Amino acid sequence: MIAVLLLLAVGGMVAGMLVGRAAPRLWLGLTLAGIAAGLAAAVSVLAGGTEWEWHSAILIGGEPLHLRLDGISAFFLVLLGTVGGAGAVYAHEYWAERLHPRSARVARGWWSALVLTLALVLVSANGLHFLIAWELFTLSAYFLVTLDRRQPAARAAGWLYLGASHVAVLALFAFFALLAARTGSWDLGPMREHKELAPLFWLALFGFGLKAGLFPLHIWLPDAHANAPSHVSAMMSGVAIKMGIYGLVRFSGWLPMPTGAGWVVAALGVASAVLGVAFALGQHDLKRLLAYHSVENVGIILIGLGFALVAVEQGDTMWGRLALAGGILHVWNHGLFKALLFFGAGSVLHATGSREMSRLGGLWRPMPWTATLFGLGAVAISGLPPLNGFVSEWLVYLGLFDATQSHSEAAWAAIPAAILLGVTGAMALACFVKVCGVVFLGAPRSAEAARAHECGGMMRGPMLLLGAACVAIGLAPVLFWPVLARVTSAWRPGWADATAPAPLLMLGGVHLALAAAAGLAGWLLWARVKQRGLARALTWDCGYVAPTARMQYTAGSFAGTITAWFAWILHPIVQEQRAEAVLPAGASHRSHTPETVLERVIEPMGTVVMAVSGAVRRRQHGRVQSYLFYLLIGVAVLAGVVLAGGEI
């Protein structure tokens, strides 16, 4: 049954790749049909069906094909199917032939290829095939990121992404090769009893962490997400970086863990969460800002996973289960609301041609659908009740609070983690109030923003679907508990509670009541205002009679206080000319928050490497005499060593 569905899914994707160039509608139909088949297979596993495993005699690269669809794979496959399908529909209008005649054709083919290779990563249970699928997915994503190749920024972002991804691939090569060398087989599966494999986890953490966008390995992420077409950004942020999380969840479940792994993962998670949102606050580019929020949310996921690992180490599983459930659920949640937000950003870009927040404003009037759905996504990503973001953050919090009460070593880590998670939540709220306010509210700051138009049905539909999913998880979290239990039992057999914790049921009830009450209160207030009369007037600006849109608060000033607190790491670049003297000639202010880790750490390191390489290259110039001289020196040194009595 599952085999048939997966075969159908592969068939749909491959057929989609083949017809993608010529027939957009047929491509969309085939892709969606393939995704539907894949989703059906994943859902049947998650809904309690048996795990699917297939050993085949077919050799690829000398290794027999081995596929496996268990709870963890199926969980990520559902996210892939949802965002992949929604993105395909969205792209049909957003990256249409009419708008992008050069790249629309290849975009469709690469989209199918990306979905297919991501699914292969999720189901392959052989180290070699995992690596092949991983590399293919990296390449498909590269071609999608650089679709708009005429833009130098897109080319540079693609180059950085490709370079960084291959550093990750290098680490993963080492990881899988060492694993195969020590176990004698490329086959993957539970191997917790092989204690000697534990140190390999650090390689996996580097490789998968780089892909997940963990701070400080996130350097490639903001550029790639900001410069890719928006449906690709949604896929990258919603699904592709989750492959790093998949790898970490998968191999922390299968391999023995080195001591201290949980602490390191949790600490990296906290750093990613706080610093990700701090960098996001400093951004003026809408999509770059959203990209930094991926770093933040990956951090929240890793706090959950890290504390689950600490719980494993301490043999105490009660609070570990809650933290793990929260982290795992946040994978879905972030995938859903971040894809929604990137679609919203794409819709804004489509309508105005600008990602620069200081050129937008007042878009709620021409784009009510986009504004409302983006607002919904903003509430969800800020982790506010009654939406899904709060459910997963609340589970992580519960894990941390319960860990504190255990009065064990874990409590020492849980206290700062809980406080910093609170700080992260408050900062995310500040950031999304800023984004919504500057982009959608107030008056348009440029002619393009004033001329904006709403997106069409093919772009609105996927946003509605993702928004509905966010609301569904928020209002009925208990329904999704069996899924989490399934993933947990695949991670550590015997850990899962089949019945949802009672507080989760209560939380769902409160969320429902809250949503109903908010709707009712909004309607009542609206009715009251209608009854008493509503007059429109200019915004009150201290009696100033000619307000202009440029007098509005900007994104930079809104976040100014917070970015000043984080100036020690953000290093914002400010150029300003103040209005001084009695008759000031003019004033200007320009601020920019660079990618500090890239510009202050990686680039100087690159410069050093290049300088050393340049110096070494001067020694190799093709003159035979010099080479003979090098040989002579070598022989002399060896002779010296032997004469001195050393052994070679």
Partner 1 sequence: MTPFLEGLLRLAWWLVLAPLLPGLINKVKAWVAGRRGPPVLQLYYDLARLWQKQVVMSTLASPGFLIGPAVAWVALAGAVCLVPLGPVGAMLSFHGDALLMLYLLALARFFTAWAALETGSAFEGMGAAREVSYAILAEAAMVAAMLSLSVQTGSVSLVTMLAPSAGPGAALLAAGLFTVLLAENCRVPFDDPNTHLELTMIHEVMVLDHSGPPLAVILHGAAMKLLLFSVLLTEAVLPMGELSPPAATGVLLAGVLGVTIGVGLVESLLARFAFRRVPLLLTTGVLFCLFALLVAWKGGRA
The residue assigned the tokens 């022989």 is 635
Q: How far is the CB of 383 from partner 1 (least distance, A)?
A: 7
Tell whether residue 512 is a contact of partner 1 (CB under 8 A): no
Tell me, residue by residue from 394 to 413, as one string, x for binding to partner 1 by CB under 8 A and - for no binding.
x--xx--xx-xx-x---x--
Which is nearer to partner 1, 250 or 445 (by Cβ)? 445
Tell whether residue 644 is a contact of partner 1 (CB under 8 A): no
**Hey, which residues does 458 pair with through a beta bridge?**
none
Q: How far is the CB of 74 from partner 1 (least distance, A)?
A: 28
Tell whether residue 260 is a contact of partner 1 (CB under 8 A): no
Tell whether residue 567 is a contact of partner 1 (CB under 8 A): no
Tell whether residue 560 is a contact of partner 1 (CB under 8 A): yes
Tell whether residue 178 is a contact of partner 1 (CB under 8 A): no
d(CA 517, CA 522): 8
112, amino acid identity: S
Residues 306-365 that bind partner 1 (CB under 8 A): 361-362, 364-365
Tell whether residue 481 is a contact of partner 1 (CB under 8 A): no
Return the residue of 501, 512, 572, 602 that touches partner 1, per CB under 8 A: 501
Return the residue of 10, 26, 426, 478 that touches partner 1, per CB under 8 A: 426
Q: How far is the CB of 129 from partner 1 (least distance, A)?
A: 42
Closest residue by Cα to residue 398 from 272, 507, 274:
507
Q: Which residues lie closer than 8 Å to 93 by C-beta, 6 or more apart?
A: 455, 456, 457, 458, 459
Stretch that binds partner 1, among 175-183, 249-257, 305-313, 555-563 (CB under 8 A): 555-563
Tell whether residue 541 is a contact of partner 1 (CB under 8 A): yes
Size of the site for partner 1 (CB under 8 A): 83
52 phi and psi angles, rounded to 5 deg: -110, 130
**Hey, which residues does 124 pair with through a beta bridge?**
67
- Residue 624, both tokens: 């035979």
DSSP code of residue 358: G
Q: How far is the CB of 526 from partner 1 (least distance, A)?
A: 6
d(CA 485, CA 495): 8
Which is nearer to partner 1, 514 or 602 (by Cβ)? 514
Tell whether residue 436 is a contact of partner 1 (CB under 8 A): yes
Tell whether residue 499 is a contact of partner 1 (CB under 8 A): no
Stretch that binds partner 1, among 186-194, 220-228, 419-427, 488-496 (CB under 8 A): 419-427
d(CA 307, CA 318): 11
Instruction: List, as one string, the DSSP characters of 251-283.
Output: HHHHSPPPTTHHHHHHHHHHHHHHHHHHHHHT-
Tell whether residue 425 is a contact of partner 1 (CB under 8 A): yes
Tell whether residue 604 is a contact of partner 1 (CB under 8 A): no
Q: How far is the CB of 400 from partner 1 (least distance, A)?
A: 9
Which is nearer to partner 1, 91 or 559 (by Cβ)? 559
Return the residue of 136, 169, 471, 549 that touches partner 1, per CB under 8 A: 549
Return the residue of 58, 502, 615, 648 that touches partner 1, per CB under 8 A: 502
Which is nearer to partner 1, 159 or 401 (by Cβ)? 401
Which is nearer to partner 1, 54 or 401 (by Cβ)? 401
Closest residue by Cα to residue 141 from 157, 130, 129:
157
Closest residue by Cα to residue 380 from 454, 301, 469:
469
d(CA 132, CA 169): 10
HEC-encoded secondary structure of 574-629: EEEECCCCCCCCCCEEEEECCCHHHHHHHHHHHHHHHHHHHHHHCCCCCCHHHHHH
Which is nearer to partner 1, 231 or 434 (by Cβ)? 434
Which is nearer to partner 1, 80 or 391 (by Cβ)? 391
Q: How many CB atoms lie within 10 A of CB 609?
A: 10
Tell whether residue 525 is a contact of partner 1 (CB under 8 A): yes
Query: Helix or strand or coil: residue 43?
Result: helix
Q: How many CB atoms lie within 10 A of CB 523?
A: 10
Return the residue of 29, 366, 385, 456 that touches partner 1, per CB under 8 A: 385
